[in-house]
A and B are shown apart, each in its own frame.
Chain A
C-alpha cells in the first residue's frame, strides 16, 4: 500500500485549496481514501496490519490537523472580505488628568534655570515686616511702600503679613548662605486689589538672584535672554528701561519683545512691540549689608518675573480670573 505517497498527495491538495468548499471536498475525498486503506487492511497479515495500521492512524491525525488549520486560515480570509469595519468611529474615551497651567510653566521655568545652574528654593507665604520690607531697604515711612503697590499688603495679627513679593525669599536665603549664590524662588504672592481681567489678589512670581565677585548687568541680560529663548522656544529680545526699586541699584523694568506679534505691534503690547515681563536690578548694597554680606566684595543681580503673566502669554489666556476658576473646561485643556 502506498500510504506515504497518498499522504503527500493529500497534504499537497489541502495546501493548494482556495475555498472552504474545495477544502471540504478534498477532505471528504481523503477520508474515503483512508476508508479504502482500512478495508484493504483486513486482507493483510497481522504484522503488516500493525505496521500499516499505525501509518493510517498517523495519516488520519495529520489530515485532521491540516484540515482544521487550513479551514481557519480560509475562514479568516473570507471574514476579512465580508466584515465591515469603520475605523472612523471614535476611540474609547480615556479621561486623562491634567496639571494646572501655572504648574506647567513653573516646572518649565524651574527646569530651565536649573539647567543654567540655579538652585530652586522656597520660602513661607506668611512673612514678617523685616523680610518683606525692611531688609529690602523699604523702611516704614518709605514712599515705595505705597508707590510700588506694596501698600497693598495684607496684614495679619502679630505684625505678620502675606508676602507681597517673592523678594523676601532672597533675604531669607542670603541670611543663611554665603556667596556665591545662584537661586530662583517660585511662589505665590498676595496683594490687595480689585479683581478683574488683569488684576488678582493672589498670583505667582519667580524671583531670581545671582551673586558673585563680578556679576554685572550684562550678565543679567545674557541669562534672561537665554531663559526666554528656551521658555518661548524662539529668539527673544529684551529691553531694559530705567526704574526704581529700593532693593536694587541700578534698577530696571524688563520688557520682552511681544510674543504675540513678534514686535510689529498689536493689541497685547499696545502697539509698542514690547511687553513688561518684570523688574530687575543689581542688589542694593544696603540689602547686602542687611544680610551681613560685604557689598565691597560681592555684587550681583536680582529679578522678579510674573509667572502668572508668563503663563498667560505662553498659552494666550486672555483673563487672569481663569486661574482660580476651578473650571474643568479650562483646566482640562492643559
Chain B
C-alpha cells in the first residue's frame, strides 16, 4: 500500500523523521517498508501493512501508529461544514431502514450537495492522489478517493438526477440484473451479489464499484455522497461472484471502523464545499443497525514480561499501550481502541508492547525447561541408513517432483481410478500425484545420458494412490542403473537388504499382477519380484522396450522400486550380531553341467543342504554355455568349522556327499 510522505508528515508539528529514517522505523516497529521513492516534491512509501491491521490502511491510521512509535502527537483531521438552512435532505432523497438489507450493510450515511461545479481538482489534491497511485478524475471523485486514503472510509458519489424515483436501497441483486460500471464493464448479477439500487435498477455494486449511468459527469450539479459500512461476508460474496476486487472492497473485506462513516462523510462534504463550491443540504442520512460495543482486555504486566522474556515495568508497558490508544479502566482492564479489532487477549498486548519497546532490545536467553528425551521418528533413522548404503555403493540421490503429467498414467498402464488428480494444478505437467517414483527417475536417466556413461541414481520419497477409494500416501524407494546390468543392480539390492540385517529375502520370478505398475513397464523376462518370506516388497527389472522408446533411451536401463513402509514393518526385528569362526577356511571350486533351463537356485539349494553347518558360503562365480542345451555353473564353496580348523579330509567327504546328491539328478553332471 502506497503512502504519501508529505501527507503523513502533515499530521505532525515538527521533527518528523526523514523519509528513509521513517521507512526504517516502520520496518522495525510495525510494517515492512520499502525504500522511499521520490515523486516530485513528495516521497512515495510502499508500506506492507499487515492483514490484521486495516486501521493502518490509510494515512491518518498510519500516522496514529507512527505517533506511538516516535512518541509525538498526531493531529486529528478537522473540518468546517456549513449547511444550507433552507433545504432539507428529506426533500431530496428517500433512504429508509426498511430498504437497507441488514445482511449487507451495517451503517448507511449520505449527504446531498447541490450547485456543484465539476472540474479539475486543485494541484495539492491531484499531487497526493498521484503519489498514492490514483488517477485524478474530477474534483468530486477525487475528494471521495482522497478521503478514503486519508481516513480509510470508502465513499461513493452519485449524480442525483440519475437516481430513479429519488430513492436509494441496499439489497441483493435479482437474477438477470446487469450493471455497466464506471470502467465500462458489464457485470451479470445474481442473488449472491449485493447492490445499491434506485427504484428501478442497480446503480452500484455495493462497496465495490459504482455504475456508469449514475456516476459523476461534467453535467452533474447535485451530488449524493454515500458513506456506508458493508458486511465482510457480503463483500466477499460479491467479490467471489464477480471475480472483482477494488481499493474500496479490499478495505471492507478487512473491516472498516463503524464510527468512521458519518465523520468521513462530513469531511468529504466540507472539502467539496471548499473546492467545488457545493452547497450542502441540511441534515444527513445516518442509518445504524448496531452500535459498536466497548471492548476490554485483561492487562497483566507480569505475563507480558514472561511472554517476551524481558522485564519491562508496568509503568512503561502502560505508557506504550496508552500511546496506541488503549485506556486504563478499573482494576486490571484496558479499554481497546475501537479501531483495533485485532486485539482480543493478553498475547495481543504482548505483541504491541514488544514491538514498540523494540524487539532488538530482547536479548537471547536459554530456556530453563523440563528435561525431555530427544528422539527421532524411526522412519528418519531408517531412511538415513538406506541413503548411507546407497551412497556407499556409488549411487547419487535425486529428488523429483511429486506431480506427474496426465500422459504418464496410461504410459505406465496405471488405471485412472487409482491415481489422485490435483484440482488446481500448477500446470498440466503437474496434474497428478505420482503413484510411482520411476517415471521421473527414467526422466533423470534420459537427461543425464549426454554427459555420463555410467549412471546410478536413487530416490526416497512419497508416492500417492487410491486404494478402495481412499487416498493413501506411502514412502517409496526407487532407483535405476544405466546399461544391461540386471545382476549388478540385483547385487546392490542384495547388499542393501543384507546390510539392513534382513535374512530371509529372495528374488522370485515376476508374475504380471502387481498392484500399481503393470507389466507394461517391465521386460517380463528380465524382471523379478523382491520378497521377504512370503511378502512381496518390490520389483526389480529391466525397463520394457516400449517405455524406453517413449523416453528415446537407446541403452538398456534397469530399475527397482521398493515399498519402504512394508520393508520397515517386516524388518522391525533387531539386528543381532552373528558369531563367526576364528579358524581358517578351506575353499573349493566346483563346476556342474546342467540343462540351460535349470535354476541356479535349485543347485545352490542342493549344495547348501548337503554342506550342513560347515559349509559357510556358496557363491556362483561363473556361468558359461556349453551348447544350446547345456550350461556350466561354477560355484565357490567355503568350509569352516566353528571350534577348530577343519580337516581337508572332512571337506573331501562333504564334497563327495554333495556330488552324489547333485548327480542323483540324471541331467546334472560334475565336471572333474
Tell whether B76 is near chain A: CB-to-CB under 8 Å.
no
Asked if B566 CB lies within 8 Å of chain A CBs, one says no
- The CA-CA distance from A95 to B488 in the complex, in Å, is 15
- Cα–Cα distance between A96 and B471 once the two chains are bound (Å): 38
Partner of A95, one of B30, B345, B454: B454
The minimal Cβ–Cβ distance linking B479 to chain A, given in whole angstroms, is 11
Q: Does B362 contact A (CB under 8 A)?
A: yes
Task: Tell me which of A97, A181, A194 has the highest count of chain B C-beta atoms within 10 A of its own C-beta.
Answer: A97
Interface residues of B in 286-340 (CB under 8 A from A): 306-310
- For chain A, the count of residues having a C-beta within 8 Å of the partner chain is 82
**Which of B232, B350, B384 sits near A282, CB closer than 8 Å?**
B350
A241 touches B28 (CB 8 A): yes
Residue A197 CB within 8 A of the other chain: no
A250 engages B350 (CB within 8 Å): yes
Asked if A214 contacts B52 (CB within 8 A), the reply is: no
Distance between Cα atoms of A148 and B365 in the complex (Å): 30
Does residue B236 face the partner (Cβ distance < 8 Å to A)?
yes
CB–CB A250/B351 < 8 A:
yes
Binary CB contact string for chain A from 216 to 246 against chain B (1 if under 8 A, 0 otherwise):
1111011111100000000000011111100
Binds A, one of B218-226, B416-424, B603-611: B416-424
Interface residues as binary, A301-330 with B (CB distance below 8 Å gives 1, 0 otherwise): 000000000000000000000011111110
A295 to B307, CA, bound (A): 12
Q: Tell me if A207 counts as interface (CB < 8 A to partner B).
A: no
B642 touches A (CB below 8 Å) = no
Q: Is A114 an interface residue (CB 8 A)?
A: yes
Contact between B351 and A328, CB atoms less than 8 A apart: no
Decide if B374 touches A119 in the complex (CB within 8 Å).
yes
Are the CB atoms of B402 and A188 closer together than 8 Å? yes
Q: A147-B51, A222-B365 are known contacts. Are A155 and B308 too (CB-CB below 8 A)?
A: no
Q: Kindly state the separation between the CA atoms of A249 and B398 in the bound complex, as whole angstroms.
A: 39
Known A-B contacts A102-B399, A119-B376, A156-B421; A216 and B30 likewise in contact (beta carbons under 8 Å): no
A97 touches B471 (CB 8 A): no
In angstroms, Cα B420 to Cα A155, docked, is 10
Using Cβ atoms and an 8 Å threshold, which residues of chain A touch B375?
119-120
* Interface residue from A97, A214, A221, A325 paired with B392 (Cβ < 8 Å): A97
B422 in contact with A155 (CB, 8 Å): yes
User: Within the complex, what minimum Cβ distance (angstroms) separates B28 from chain A?
Assistant: 6
Tell me if A172 is interfacial: C-beta within 8 Å of chain B. no
A107 B447 Cβ-Cβ under 8 A: no
Could you tell me the distance in whole angstroms from the C-beta of B31 to the nearest C-beta in chain A? 7
Known pairs A219-B309, A249-B351, A282-B307; A124 contacts B367 (CB<8 A): no
Nearest-neighbor residue (CB-CB) of A98 within chain B: B396
State the Cβ distance, B522 to closest chain A Cβ, in Å. Answer: 22
Docked pose: A217 CA to B308 CA in angstroms: 5
- Give the residues in chain A near B393, CB-CB below 8 Å: 97
Q: A212: CB under 8 A from chain B?
A: yes
The reply to whether A202 and B401 form a contact with Cβ atoms under 8 Å apart is: yes
CA distance A241 to B430 in the complex (A): 36
User: Is the Cβ of B233 less than 8 Å from the Cβ of A154?
Assistant: no
* Cβ of A265 to closest chain B Cβ, rounded Å: 13
Interface status of B524 (Cβ within 8 A of chain A): no
Determine if B425 and A157 form an interchain contact, defined as CB atoms under 8 angstroms apart. Answer: no
| Interfacial chain A residues near B444, Cβ < 8 Å | 326
- Whether A278 sits at the interface, judged by CB under 8 Å, is no
| Interfacial chain A residues near B91, Cβ < 8 Å | none
Name the residue of chain B whose CB is nearest to the CB of A147. Answer: B51
Q: Taking the nearest CB of chain A, how far is it from the CB of B272, in angstroms?
A: 32
Q: How far is the CB of B43 from chain A (nearest CB, A)?
A: 19
CB-nearest residue of chain B relative to A116? Answer: B374
Tell me the bound Cα distance from A99 to B392 in angstroms. Answer: 10
User: Which chain A residue lies CB-closest to B51?
Assistant: A147
A27 touches B (CB below 8 Å): no
Give, as a whole number of angstroms, the nearest-CB distance from B309 to chain A. Answer: 3
A120-B376 in contact (CB<8A): yes
Nearest chain B CB to A200 CB, angstrom units: 9
Q: How many residue pairs between the two chains, A and B, have CB atoms under 8 Å in the bound complex?
A: 235
A299 within 8 A of B: yes
B452 vs chain A, min Cβ distance (A): 6
Least distance between B267 CB and chain A CB atoms (Å): 27
In angstroms, Cα B347 to Cα A157, docked, is 37
A97 partner, pick from B307, B395, B448, beta carbons under 8 A: B395
Which residues from A are CB-within-8-Å of B369?
Answer: 117, 180, 182, 210, 212, 215
| Set A95, A182, A215, A241: member contacting B372, Cβ < 8 A | A182
- Which residues of chain B (359-408) have a CB below 8 Å from chain A? 359-360, 362-370, 372-377, 379-380, 384, 387, 390-403
A201 at the interface (CB under 8 A from B): yes
Closest chain B residue to A158, Cβ basis: B471
- Which residues of A are found within 8 Å of B464, using beta-carbon distances? 126
Q: Are A180 and B370 in contact (CB under 8 A)?
A: yes
The residues of B that contact A201 with a CB separation of less than 8 Å are: 401, 403, 426, 430
The yes or no answer to A103 lying at the interface (CB within 8 A) is yes
Distance A114 CA – B366 CA, assembled complex (angstroms): 16
**Residues of A with C-beta under 8 A to B355:** 242, 250
Q: How far is the CA of A13 from the CA of B387 in the complex (A)?
A: 64
A143 near B253: Cβ-Cβ < 8 Å: yes
Q: Is B50 an interface residue (CB 8 A)?
A: yes
Q: How far is the CA of A156 from the CA of B379 in the complex (A)?
A: 26
Verify B395–A125 contact, CB threshold 8 A. Answer: no
A117, closest chain B residue (CB): B374
Q: Closest A-chain residue to B342, C-beta based?
A: A244
A306 to B: closest C-beta gap in Å: 15
Residue of A nearest to B360 (CB): A239
Within 8 A of B (CB), among A40-60: none
Q: Is A141 an interface residue (CB 8 A)?
A: yes
- Nearest-neighbour CB distance to chain B for A181, whole angstroms, equals 8
Q: Which residue of A lies closest to B445 (CB)?
A: A326
Q: B residues within 8 A CB of A250? A: 307-308, 347, 350-351, 354-355
Name the 6 nearest CB pairs between A and B, nearest first.
A218-B309, A216-B309, A250-B351, A222-B364, A326-B444, A97-B391
**Could you list 20 A-B pairs, sorted by A, with CB under 8 Å?**
A96-B391, A119-B376, A122-B379, A156-B420, A156-B422, A182-B374, A192-B425, A193-B426, A212-B367, A212-B369, A214-B306, A218-B310, A221-B364, A223-B367, A242-B351, A244-B50, A244-B52, A250-B355, A328-B396, A328-B448
Given contacts A180-B370, A223-B367, A241-B359, 12 further A-B contacts (CB under 8 A): A98-B397, A99-B391, A117-B374, A119-B376, A181-B372, A195-B426, A214-B368, A216-B365, A250-B350, A252-B359, A299-B306, A331-B397
Residues in chain A within 8 A of chain B (CB atoms):
95-100, 102-103, 107, 110, 114, 117-122, 124-126, 141, 143-144, 147-148, 154-158, 160, 162, 180-182, 188, 190, 192-195, 201-202, 210, 212, 214-219, 221-226, 239-244, 249-253, 282, 284-285, 295, 299, 323-329, 331-332
